[in-house]
Amino acid sequence: MVKSAGGVPIRWRIFSFLFGFGFLAYVQQKTITVAAEQMMPALHLSQLQIGWLEDAFVWGYALFQLPGGIIGQRLGARRTFVIIGITALLATVATPIAPEFFSGSGLFMALLGIQLLLGFSQGAIFPISAGVFEAWFPPRRWSFVQGLQTMGLGLGAALTPPLIAYLMQRFGWQRGLLWASLLAPGLIGLWAWYGRNTPREHPSISAEEVAEIGNAPQVHTTISVRQMLGLLGNRNVVLLFVSYMCMNYTFYLLSNWVFLYLVQERHFSSLESGFLSMAPPLAAALGAGAGGLLTGVLVQRCGARWGYRLVPLVAMPAAALFLWFAVNASNPYLAVAVLATCFGSVELTEGAFWGGAMTVGQGDTMAVCGFMNTGGNLGGIISIPIVAYFSGLHEWHTAFIIGIAFALVSAAAWLGIGIASPAEAAAPPLAREAPAY
């Protein structure tokens, strides 16, 4: 491996920024879920209203996936990350400040708008990250780096409950959220200074590292209506959309609701739940990294079609089984352990989804990944009101059973996905058909 003068290849330094943006995104996203315990009585909000606030974020996040990917292709990752990072920071700070200016229904509408803006600002993060990985890493590493970045999400989700629970107990929920927002400015500033769109733009990269990375597909800075229709009609792209949507029902169930589930259904204290709810996202983080590595190995040994399929075909049915055990476990600590195992199984699939989408979408990776992740967040849009409704009735069992069904459908969709290898997929994805079976 070629190393820079400082000993770390430039591409892995670029990766560390994207890892950081993924970590930060989940800290920003999940604060309101944990803060809800104090926000509801302080602001006179119901649990269903908290669900609508979370849904507003997911709507904004989902709606900006494809537009964000297209904007990223046009403006470049360096500039776009600065713009969306600053916007997300402003939205994060606005949440605890809003009660100082609004009350009643006006406050609820303001919080809805803030969560929508936060969703818009973060919608482009992962489609654009995929385009950066396409430019900075060889194809054999795509699944691995996608899995590693997803670890950043899992670590952010794992650390958020105890961090916010501690800050709320120490400072109250408003000042606690303001303290948590201080993580963002340094990362944004450093990226603006050091980040680049492609290896050849970076002043510190060596010719040897550029050669090791290889020639990335030329990014399509414009996408016509005809190309868009081709993207939406591509069988692999559509099935990735459907499968990722179903997987993300289970993902959002585990990601957004474990803290309240442990408090309400398993009767842990708030602080204890904050620490116990770290277990599922930590397992998810480990699963994402391991799944990305495993998928990369399988693609090299079994070819792209089965290499990308195998992990989801095994992991999602396993997740459904673990979800069934968790909801029926009589011991609450066993339930936490099984939920963690379930979340790890779900996140084993991230490398397959994102690496597969990058292989399909060469040159249009940001747009293709944005479309797939629109489906993923549609799963969240579906799940949040359903889980909020049933949890409000203390019928958590029903919400979990629905998650089992979505996990099984996600696995089944992979039987129809046939991804060609990068060498076979050299043509632009919007102009080619899915391979025959």
Is 1 inside a domain boundary? no
Q: Cα separation of 227 and 432, whole Å?
A: 11
User: 275: pLDDT confidence band, cut at 50, 70 and 90?
Assistant: low
CA dihedral (254, 355, 59, 231) in degrees, to 10, reads -150
Q: Answer yes or no: is pLDDT of 426 > 70.
A: no
Q: Answer yes or no: is pLDDT of 255 > 80.
A: no
Determine which of 195-199, 265-269, 413-417 has the lowest per-residue pLDDT on average.
265-269
Total tally of structural domains belonging to the chain: 1
Whichever domain contains 195, its CATH number is: 1.20.1250.20
Is 233 inside a domain boundary? yes
Q: Cα separation of 250 and 316, whole Å?
A: 10
What residue numbers bound the domain in which 284 lies?
A: 10-431
Contact by Cβ (8 Å): 275, 258: no
Contact by Cβ (8 Å): 144, 354: no
Q: What is the pLDDT of residues 339-385, one digit of tens each?
A: 889 989 999 999 999 999 999 988 889 999 999 999 998 998 888 78
Give the contacts of 159 (CB within 8 A, at least 6 positions apart): 27, 278
Q: What is the mean pLDDT of residues 247-251?
A: 92
Is 436 inside a domain boundary? no
Between 166 and 5, the higher pLDDT residue: 166
Is 437 inside a domain boundary? no
User: 265: pLDDT confidence band, cut at 50, 70 and 90?
Assistant: low
Is 4 inside a domain boundary? no
Average pLDDT over the chain, rounded to whole? 86
Contact by Cβ (8 Å): 11, 213: yes
pLDDT at 68: 93
Determine which of 31-40, 138-147, 193-202 has the lowest per-residue pLDDT on average.
31-40
Q: What is the pLDDT of residues 81-120, one digit of tens each?
A: 999 999 999 999 999 999 999 999 999 999 999 999 999 9
Distances (CA, A) of 396 to 37, 261, 265, 324, 389: 18, 8, 8, 12, 9
pTM of the model as a whole: 0.82
Is 302 inside a domain boundary? yes
Q: What is the pLDDT of residues 190-225, one digit of tens each?
A: 999 999 999 999 999 999 999 999 887 777 777 777
Is 3 inside a domain boundary? no
